[in-house]
Chains A and B, each alone.
Chain A
C-alpha cells in the first residue's frame, strides 16, 4: 500500500474531499446565480437606455427630418460618456456620430447587434465591444444607436475568473488542508499502531503516547493505557504466581522424588518401603491441596463460581464455622468466641463464604497465638464477629498474635506469600488470597487492621438489603396504555 492510497483511505481525508465537493458545489451555485442576475439586470438597463435614445431621436427625425437628426446626433456625440451614434447615407458616408470605421457586417445588419469598434485611447486606438440597434431610415440612410458594453463584458470576465480562481483556491486549500490534517492524524495513528505492536511483541511496560490536547485520540490512548496497566498488573501477577508455583510445587515434588529414589536405593525392606510410600501419599495430598487452592483462586478471580448465591445469615454462618473450629482452638489452648448480635443478611455462596471464614479462623488459630516476647499479659484468644454498618456486612476475625506489620498488609493478600515468622507452620500461603478472591467475587474486600496487639482481618460485603433494593429498581415499569380509536 503506497503512502498516497493509505492517505486516501483515512477517514479524515475522505471527509475533507466530501466537504470540499459540497462547498465547491454551493459556491458555484452562488456565483452562477449572482452572475446570471447581474447579466440580466445589465442587459435590461442597456436595452432601456438604447430604447429611450431611439425614441428621442425618432421624435427629432419626425419633427425635423434628416438634418435635425444629424444635428442632434452630432450634438449628443460630443457629450462625454455618451452613447454611440452614427448617421450615414446610403453611400456609407458618415453624416454625424462618434462611431467611425464601421465594419461591413455592422453596415449590412439590421436590429440589435454586438460588434467591435475602435476608439482613441491614451497611446493609440483600442478595440472595444459595443451593442447597438441598426435602423434603416427612409431614403437608405442608416441610424445606429448603441452603448459601449466592454465594461460589462469586463465584469462578466471578472466574475468568471473570480469563480474559477475561487474554486481553484478552495480545492487547493481543501485538498491541502485535508492532506495536512490527515497526515497529522495518520502520523499519530501510525505512532499508536507502532507502539501497540511493540507492546504486542512483549514490551508491556510501554504506553501509548498522549499528546495532552485532551482530544478523542488522547482519550482513547488514555483508556488503552489504563487497560495496558491492568494487563501488565495481571501479567505480573501471573508471572509471580508461576514463579511461586515453581517454588511451592516443585519443592515438594522434588522432596517426593528424592524420597522414592532413596527408598529404591536402599536394600529391599517392606517396612521402609511402606513408610516411604505413606510419606509419598502424604506429600501428594499436600500437592493436590495446593493445586486445588490455586485452581479455586484462579476460577474465583476469573469471576467463575458462586452461581449458587442465596440469601443467608452471616451471623449464623459465623456461629457455625466457629463451632467447627472450637474444639481445635480448645486443643491449642486458645479461647475462640463468636460474637453476633442479630442476623446479618447477605446474598452469597454458603460454601465459598464458609471456606473464607474457615481460612480466616484457621489462620488466626495457627498464627494468632501470642508470642513469648509479648509477655504473659496477653491471653490467647480469637474473636469472630459478624456485624453490619453503613450498608455493609462485616466479619472481623481478631487474634492476639504478633500481627502483620502495616507495610506487609497489602502483600500478604498475594498468592503464596508467607511471612517469615509463619514458615514453621504448615500452609501454602494461599489461604488469605482465596479469602480475598471470595470477597471480591461477592462485591466486597478484605482489610487487615491492628488489633493492638494482634491482627484483625475484616471481610466485608454488601448487605442483602441493597440487593433487594436493586431488584426493586430493576423491576419492569408498568406497561404502556393502549389507546383504542
Chain B
C-alpha cells in the first residue's frame, strides 16, 4: 500500500513513515499543503493521511482541491480538533475518515487499511463469506457450516461490518462509529462485551475460531485455516 503523509511536524511524520514501513507499507511525506497537493495530484496513492492544520495550504483545502479535480484517493484527516462539528466539517470537505490526536498507531493503521480497501468491488456483494461462515445481507440470515445462527439486529450489523472487512483489523472505536454511529467514548469497554457475545454465537461450538482479538488494536474476522 502506498501512503502519502501530509504532516508538518517532522517527528510525527518520521514516526508515521517508520511505523507504516514496519507494517509493510510504502510511505511518502510532504511537509506542507502545497507540496502535499502536488504529490497527491501526480502520483497514485492508496491512502492520504492529511493533517488538518498545515502551513501554506490547510488540510481540508488540500482534500477539497483534490476532490474538485476528481481525484478520489481515500483521505484520513488527522486533527487536534475532536468535536463532532469538526469531524462533520472534515468529512464534508471530502475526507473519508477522521482521527483525533493523540491517537494510537494501531487505530490509524486499521483505519487506513480499511480505507484503502474500500474501493474494492466486494462492497456491493450481497453475500459475505469467511471460511464456512456465510452472511446474507438481503435475507439477514447467517449460517456457519450450514447451521443457522440467530442474531439480534445489532449483532448482525456488527458481524456484517467485521465480515465486510474480513482479514483486516477493526478497532473498537471503528465498531462504535460504524455499527452504532456513536462518536464518543463510552467509558466502559462495551464493545468487548458485544464481541464476546457475538463470539459465543458464531465460534462457540466450532473447532476453528473465526473472530480473533488483535492485542492492543481490536478485532479481526478471518479464516485462519487458509
Contact = CB atoms under 8 A, between A and B. Distances in A.
A362 B187 contact: yes
Contact of B184 (A354, A365, A366, A427): A354
B83 interface: yes
B87 to A, nearest CB: 9
Q: Give the size category of B's interface with A.
A: 20 to 34
Contacts of A351: 84, 182-184
A307 interface: yes
B193 interface: yes
A337 B142 CA distance: 28
B184 A307 contact: no
A359 interface: yes
Interface in B83-111: 83-85, 88, 100, 102, 104
Contacts, number: 65
B193 A327 contact: yes
Contact of A323 (B85, B154, B183): B154
Contacts of B154: 323
A284 B101 CA distance: 13
> Which secondary structure dominates where chain B touches chain A?
loop
A390 to B, nearest CB: 30
Contact of A289 (B180, B181, B185): B185
Contact of B186 (A304, A305, A307, A358): A358
Nearest to A434: B184
User: Which of B88, B154, B182, B216 is the most central at the interface, judged by chain A CB atoms within 10 Å of its CB?
Assistant: B182
Contacts of B194: 324, 327
A232 to B, nearest CB: 29
B193 A431 contact: no
Given A299-B83, A305-B83, A351-B84, A328 B183 contact: no
A422 interface: no
A325 B187 CA distance: 11
A350 to B, nearest CB: 8
A288 B183 contact: no
A288 B102 contact: yes
A365 B100 CA distance: 28
Interface string B188-209: 1010011011000000000000
B82 interface: yes
Nearest to A327: B193
Contacts of A352: 84
A355 interface: yes
A296 interface: yes
A362 B84 contact: no
User: Which of B83, B100, B187, B193 is the most central at the interface, judged by chain A CB atoms within 10 Å of its CB?
Assistant: B187
A100 B197 CA distance: 142
Nearest to B186: A358
A292 interface: yes
Given A324-B182, A354-B182, A365 B188 contact: yes
A366 B186 CA distance: 13
Interface string A344-384: 00000111101100110010011000000000000000000
Interface string A289-315: 100110110010000110110000000
Interface of B: 82-85, 88, 100, 102, 104, 154, 180-188, 190, 193-194, 196-197, 216
23 contacts: A292-B82, A292-B100, A295-B82, A304-B83, A304-B85, A305-B83, A305-B85, A307-B85, A308-B84, A324-B190, A325-B188, A327-B193, A327-B194, A328-B188, A351-B84, A352-B84, A354-B182, A355-B182, A355-B184, A355-B185, A358-B186, A359-B187, A366-B188
Given A293-B185, A296-B83, A327-B194, 18 more contacts: A281-B104, A299-B83, A304-B83, A305-B84, A305-B85, A308-B88, A324-B190, A324-B194, A349-B84, A350-B181, A351-B184, A354-B184, A355-B185, A358-B187, A359-B187, A362-B186, A362-B187, A431-B187
